[in-house]
Chains A and B, each alone.
Chain A
């Protein structure tokens, strides 16, 4: 029983830690997709954020400034994507593919210049995003250890749950959110009502990059302590998958990210107690997702105007 509670605590901890960066990126993806712009460049934006976050934290010593700058770096690439797709009417998939090459390419070159290596210098404990509620639980009892595992978590994790709530509120309870969703469904109708579709989409894609950048910074500033070229491998695509899984709703994306996080957590625990092939265990999150899609989720309706460039009528 003690063992089980311990393991369960560790799984929950890992779930939250793995889900956090995915969730930031997924919220970003939501913004872009719901406004009608396919953003496959999330991965590249995350890489930019991951690098910038650690570098700024390393040089200034402030994790929060690093975290913020990680977001801004993502927003910069988001802006590039927005200029190409929203203003110039470029194919959204092609532009996103370009971002996925440019983001890692540029930051790894910068790493070579700054550190003469593709890896950045590891952050100290003080430069990492701090853990909240660390040390307030009595770890000598089983229950205390469980609480410590689950609740003594990185501040960025607490923040992201707040962000989900905020995005949900913005999407469904504000005028901005209504307009945003309308832009993704019927931009021409929006235009006749005097909504500036171009401006709305531009803003949404930039926000999308900002959130993806925060997600990237989470990877290198919580789980790991440094940026490496393999820091971001596929998380961006998993985030996109989580959004499609969650039917383009922030609350759905939360569920998708937690599912991926939980399976990754399971992997950590099962991997420790060997006897089970690691590669097969690693497959679990993806197989579970496909099964969940078949059994529970089914059709995911893409926003009607998604992927189509909007050309202003005269």
Chain B
């Protein structure tokens, strides 16, 4: 006879249910805030849904989600290998700037060559930015979270500095780089966009994002390298004992993670961005990547879906002010979702506690039976 599963078992075993529950609770809390503010929940959520479900709206969502997916993969990859890549922000920024410089200086290079060149430059820059931090850690034992925060800001000001250089800066009054040449753009053709009625920034970067998703999954699950990195992530002492070089693994993980974040920067620039502004504060793609990786459970395919979900919230959220709803509602919803994902471990803990209680009860029963036997003797 098949034993009926306890409902706790069902919930605790399925991460997917955790995530769905968390998302539901996030929207509930969002609704609560709307009610407190005296705004219509139906109108706000209706606008959110209607703005992302049309073909044009959905194409915007995809455009928005490209950098989130790739940066999310970067962070997820680092999580798998036990490093918390809070430095994805900086790697994204240097990647984006490397692609911009390559594109602007190499405007005469034909398109089929220039685009891969930009991708490579971005990945290389991101990887270097990641490896520097890894090197500081492995060589001098410097805490990687600390140096990543520093390198995020160094990247930010470096990008602003480069954007202001005469060869790069826009000729007009704009506080930004020149527009990247057509040769480096990943936008779909105007005719195609117009005939389908897509977003004007529709681009094929999403294909790269999907390709990266599969690639990351393959590396993590199907290669020796992935196995070694995961081993270091789950227990670095055991991994070291097993003959894996922990330091080399950390450097490799940060290089790959950095390359992905850098690629995210290039995709954003060559699709939607078109140029890089001189910013007064960080744009936050790295932090978005952390959130996407968390919602996606650090699983590459989960990250792909989470990235699109996040893109939908960001694009739909930008339309909320049409209903008089503050855009920040989205931060509250996403924050709540992440909060509940964090505490969803309670289900696992409950299950552990229940198992322990069961064990204790069993042990008590056995003891009792033995005592009875003793008495009989």
Are the CB atoms of A98 and B149 closer together than 8 Å?
no
Q: Are A112 and B328 in contact (CB under 8 A)?
A: yes
Proximity string of chain B (131-149) to chain A, C-beta cutoff 8 Å, 1 when within and 0 when not: 0000010001111011101
Cβ-defined contact, B164 with A244, below 8 A: no
Residue in A closest to B331 when the chains form the complex, CB atoms: A105
Q: How far is the CB of B316 from chain A (nearest CB, A)?
A: 15
- Complex interface residues of chain B between 71 and 116 (CB less than 8 A to chain A): 84, 86
| Nearest-CB residue, chain A, relative to B147 | A290
- B43 contacts partner chain A, Cβ-Cβ < 8 Å: no
Closest Cβ of chain A: how far from B30's Cβ, in Å?
10
Specify which chain B residues have a CB less than 8 angstroms from the CB of A233 in the assembled complex: 281-282
Contact with B along A234-251 (1 / 0, CB 8 A): 100110110011000000
- A234 and B282 within 8 A (CB): yes
CB distance from A271 to the nearest CB of B (A): 13
Interface status of B329 (Cβ within 8 A of chain A): yes
B146–A104 contact, CB under 8 A? Answer: no
Number of contacting residues on B, CB 8 A? 47
Contact of A89 among B157, B161, B346 (CB under 8 A): B346
Nearest chain A residue, comparing its CB with the CB of B165: A277
Known contacts A84-B343, A234-B282, A289-B150; is-contact A93 B328 (Cβ 8 Å): no
CA distance A265 to B149 in the complex (A): 20
- CA distance in complex: A234, B90 (Å): 13
Q: Please report the number of residue pairs spanning A and B whose Cβ atoms sit closer than 8 angstroms.
A: 152
Task: Of the listed stretches B5-13, B256-264, B286-294, name the one at the interface; the rest are far from the partner chain.
Answer: B286-294
Nearest Cβ distance between residue A229 and chain B, in whole angstroms? 9
Proximity bits, A64-108, B CB within 8 Å = 1, else 0? 000000000000000010001100111101110111111111101
Which one, B61-69, B122-130, B233-241, B333-341, is touching chain A? Answer: B333-341
Picked from B140, B154, B328, B335, the residue with its CB within 8 Å of the CB of A286 is: B154
User: Does A95 contact B342, Cβ atoms closer than 8 Å?
Assistant: yes
| B335 lies within 8 A of A98 (CB) | yes
A238 to B148, CA, bound (A): 11
A293 to B135, CA, bound (A): 13
Check A283 for interface membership: any CB of B closer than 8 A. yes
Bound CA span A234–B145, Å: 14
**B326 touching A109, Cβ below 8 Å:** yes
Interface size for chain A: under 10, 10 to 19, 20 to 34, or 35 or more residues? Answer: 35 or more
Which residues of chain A (261-312) have a CB below 8 Å from chain B? 277, 279-280, 282-283, 285-287, 289-290, 293-294, 298-300, 302, 309, 311
- Does B187 belong to the interface (CB within 8 Å)? no
Interface residue? B210 (CB, 8 A): no
Closest to A243 in B: B146
Q: Is A1 an interface residue (CB 8 A)?
A: no
Task: Say yes or no: B291 contacts A101, CB within 8 Å.
Answer: yes
Kindly state whether residue A175 has any CB partner on chain B within 8 Å. Answer: no
Q: Are A287 and B346 in contact (CB under 8 A)?
A: no
Q: Does A113 contact B (CB under 8 A)?
A: yes
Q: Does A230 count as interface, using CB distance less than 8 angstroms?
A: yes
Contact, CB under 8 Å: B345 / A90: yes
Within 8 A of A (CB), among B244-290: 280-282, 287, 290
B332 touches A280 (CB 8 A): no
Contacts of B188 in A (CB 8 A): none
Instruction: Report yes or no: B150 in contact with A290, Cβ–Cβ below 8 A.
Output: yes
Render B302-346 as a binary contact track against A, CB cut-off 8 A, 1 for contact: 000000000000000000000000101111101110110111011
8 Å CB contacts to B: which residues of A101-149? Answer: 101-106, 108-109, 112-113
Contact A293:B153 (CB < 8 A) given known A99-B335, A233-B281: no
| B174: interface (CB < 8 Å) | no
Q: Which residues of A contact B334 (CB under 8 A)?
A: 101, 105
**Which residue of chain B has the shortest Cβ distance to A83 in the bound complex?**
B343
Expressed in whole angstroms, the minimum distance between the Cβ of B138 and any Cβ of chain A is 12
Asked if A94 and B338 sit within 8 Å, CB to CB, the answer is yes
Q: Do B164 and A277 touch across chains, with their CB atoms under 8 A apart?
A: yes
Interface centre among A245, A279, A309 (most CB of B within 10 A): A279
Most buried by A among B33, B153, B342, B343: B342
* A109 contact from B149, B329, B346, Cβ within 8 A: B329
Contact B356 A314 (CB under 8 A): yes
- In the complex, chain B residues whose CB is within 8 Å of the CB of A109: 33, 37, 326, 328-329, 332
Residues of B with C-beta under 8 A to A285: 153
What is the CB-to-nearest-CB distance from A236 to chain B, in angstroms, rounded to a whole number? 10
B327 to chain A, nearest CB (A): 9
Q: Mind listing 30 A-B residue pairs with CB under 8 Å?
A: A40-B86, A90-B345, A94-B341, A94-B342, A95-B339, A95-B342, A97-B338, A98-B338, A98-B341, A98-B342, A100-B335, A101-B335, A101-B338, A102-B335, A102-B339, A104-B331, A105-B332, A237-B149, A240-B145, A279-B161, A279-B164, A283-B157, A283-B161, A290-B136, A290-B142, A290-B150, A294-B142, A298-B142, A300-B142, A311-B349
Instruction: A234-B281, A293-B142 given; name 19 further pairs at CB < 8 Å.
Output: A90-B346, A91-B345, A95-B339, A97-B290, A97-B291, A98-B339, A98-B342, A100-B287, A105-B335, A112-B328, A240-B149, A244-B145, A245-B146, A279-B161, A279-B164, A280-B161, A286-B154, A290-B147, A300-B141
Q: Which 4 A-B pairs have the closest CB atoms?
A: A105-B331, A101-B335, A102-B335, A98-B339
